[in-house]
Amino acid sequence: MNKLEILKNKIKYRASYRGTKEMDILLTSFINSIMNNLEYSELLNLDNFLNCNDEDIYNFYLNKIPIASFKDKRILDLFQNFKI
């Protein structure tokens, strides 16, 4: 397994096991919709996005409240425009 596949598997796992079923569904759906269209550096940013607190991610998705600990505009734009 190469470095890219290892990173993708890590991202899929972290999106799937967040602690609440709602976040698992939201983030897994989001990840699956964009993962194959991202370059390695963008996947690293996506991995960093998953380090953010669930509450911050959820508030950003619903209320557009900025996530103080994450600034990658491309990932945030993709997430903001994502619809389940």
Q: How confident is the model at residue 20 (pLDDT cuts 50, 70, 90)?
A: very high
Domain 3-81: give its CATH architecture: Orthogonal Bundle (1.10)
Q: Is the predicted pLDDT of residue 1 greater than 90, yes or no?
A: no
Closest CA to 18 of 69, 68, 45, 56: 56
Contact 64/56 with Cβ under 8 angstroms?
no
Query: pTM value?
Result: 0.93
Which residue matches tokens 């989001």? 30
Instruction: Give mean pLDDT, residues 47-75.
Output: 95
- The mean of the pLDDT values for the chain is 96
CA 47 – CA 7 distance, rounded (Å): 8
32-50: pLDDT as tens digits: 999 999 999 999 999 999 9
